[in-house]
Amino acid sequence: MPLRVRDFMSLVLEHTRERLPPELRSFDARIRFVWLQIHFWTPKLHYEVWLTRKTERIEIGLHFEGERAFSYRWAEVMAARMPEVQARLGPHVELEEWTPSWTRIHQTIPYDPLSEPLADEVARRLAETISVLQPIVEEERPNVPAELEALAPARRSGGRRFHRRGRRRSSPL
């Protein structure tokens, strides 16, 4: 029998924490509806698992969701590190503009019935993503101007989402 979304996300969170090295196990997390977010220092920069039934995909990634200057500065910093990221996580991992203010590094996998084996696979990929990207974030954080860190997070307005290859319609979180 398939798991309920909340139970699935709770398993993903538990298995992710277990798979992370000890120095990365201390974070804030929240589960809300169809997404799980984990952050280490600001919710504007968080890891996310997003279940999107409409597209039949599960997204696993690092989101930069602050004001445009914050998000784009982080995308710029991470763009220089993408060859390293893709060498470690695979060529399917993309850095993209998501909305006019937000950017993300992410991958997707098929949305299958929510099960314990799928939760374990998502947790494995999320733990890998965090293990590769969080040390880069910590290393690069001093290179992002402090005034960008202080910007208040942008609020979602719904509507269209933008992809670097053109417009597409996404379901809201």
Q: In the chain, what are the domains?
A: 5-168 (3.30.1460)
Give percent above pLDDT 70 in the chain. Answer: 84
pTM of the entire predicted model: 0.84
Q: Can you tell me which residue has the tokens 């298995």?
A: 15
Report phi then psi at 55, rounded to 5.
-95, -5
Residues 95 and 105: beta-carbon distance below 8 Å: yes
Mean pLDDT rounded to a whole number for the chain: 86
pLDDT at 158 over 80: no
Output phi, psi for 52, to 5 deg.
-120, 95
User: Do residues 143 and 78 touch, judged by C-beta distance below 8 A?
Assistant: no
Residue 141 phi, psi (nearest 5): -50, -40
Least confident of 17-26, 56-65, 113-122, 163-172: 163-172
Instruction: Write down the pLDDT at residue 169.
Output: 33
